[in-house]
Amino acid sequence: MIITKSRRRLISASVRYVILTVWAVVAFFPIYWMVSTSFKPSTQWFSWPPVYFPDPPTLSNYMNVWLGTEEYDTAQYAISSQTPLISLWNSAVIAFSSTFLAVGFGSVLAYGVSRYRILSEVRMFQLLMLRMIPPIVVVAPLSLYYSALGLLDTRIGLIMVYFLTTLPYAVWMTKSFIDEVPREVEQAAEILGASRWRTVVEIVLPLIRSGLVATFLFILILTWSEYLLALIITKTQVSTLPIELSKYQGSTEGRVYGRQAALAVGITIPLMIVGLIIRKHLARGFSFGMVRR
């Protein structure tokens, strides 16, 4: 049988759709399961056969976890000294401040690298080490150092560490945007008598506004979901959402999947929104100048 060209194209297109759809199901099912479990009454959290659609859907998990309106399973609540809403606030403050610092100072640094070569290319790569060396290797001395400074269990402490660890990404990513700004703009500003700092802050950075927003959101994803450093540095006063979620694990009364899921959905939704907003810029954040357009 002769396979015509159009026929072959049809076959290859359908093969493509089949593979992509299979992976889409694989990628999406766990997320679906998390969301659906968060709406399930407790009898369906852990039943056989598994319940795929909550019946009837209930908001009680959300009420319980986020607002504390329904009855508490006391043992479990006792481990956590604060409600998730406070953790949400902590997470937001810590993630936003550290990201703001990283992008703010990172973009200025990136400007220096792009125009004045204040860091050579080797140094730029070495800067990445801050990100590439596993943080676990410094957490013990870090926590002792912090306790000596009184920074343990404070927001400032966590903010500073996140600032340091996300700075490399901020510098690399903003540099890729600054490199695209023509130098003529700055030369014009210089001729008009603007100081160097004014040139950076009032001319160059506004020109890469959308790039700065993309970088900001990209780093927000990292700081929002960080776990290990938060686990070490925060104890009782300040805890972030990922830590709050992990407290459910110590619960003695068995599986409380619905509540875990309700909390997990709350943690994940903001991240997904942010990620989808900057989906076109994700490659740039990860590629360190290796992908050209």
Q: Which of residues 139-178 bind another protein (CB under 8 A)?
A: 139-142, 144-145, 160-161, 163-164, 167
Candidates 10, 11, 75, 136: give the one binding another protein (CB under 8 A).
136
Q: Applying CB under 8 A, does 27 fall inside the site for another protein? A: yes
Candidates 28, 68, 210, 254: give the one binding another protein (CB under 8 A).
28
**Minimal distance in Å, beta carbon 138 to another protein?**
5
Q: Applying CB under 8 A, does 193 fall inside the site for another protein? A: no
**Minimal distance in Å, beta carbon 260 to another protein?**
5
**Minimal distance in Å, beta carbon 281 to another protein?**
10
Cα–Cα distance, 281 to 217 (Å, whole number): 10
Contact 48, 246 (CB under 8 A): no
- According to CB under 8 A, which residues from 228 to 257 bind another protein? 228, 232, 241-242, 245-246, 248-249, 257
Of 84, 36, 88, 90, give the one whose Cα is nearest residue 64: 84
Candidates 85, 89, 93, 112: give the one binding another protein (CB under 8 A).
112
Q: Applying CB under 8 A, does 60 fall inside the site for another protein? A: no
Q: Applying CB under 8 A, does 132 fall inside the site for another protein? A: yes
Contact 58, 40 (CB under 8 A): yes
Contact 285, 215 (CB under 8 A): yes
**Minimal distance in Å, beta carbon 173 to another protein?**
13
| Stretch near another protein under the rule CB under 8 A, chosen from 77-85, 109-117, 186-194, 206-214 | 109-117
Contact 241, 152 (CB under 8 A): no
**Which H helix or E strand runs over 229?**
helix 228-233
Q: Applying CB under 8 A, does 261 fall inside the site for another protein? A: yes
Cα–Cα distance, 98 to 89 (Å, whole number): 14
Cα–Cα distance, 183 to 162 (Å, whole number): 32
16: Cβ contacts below 8 Å, ≥ 6 apart? none
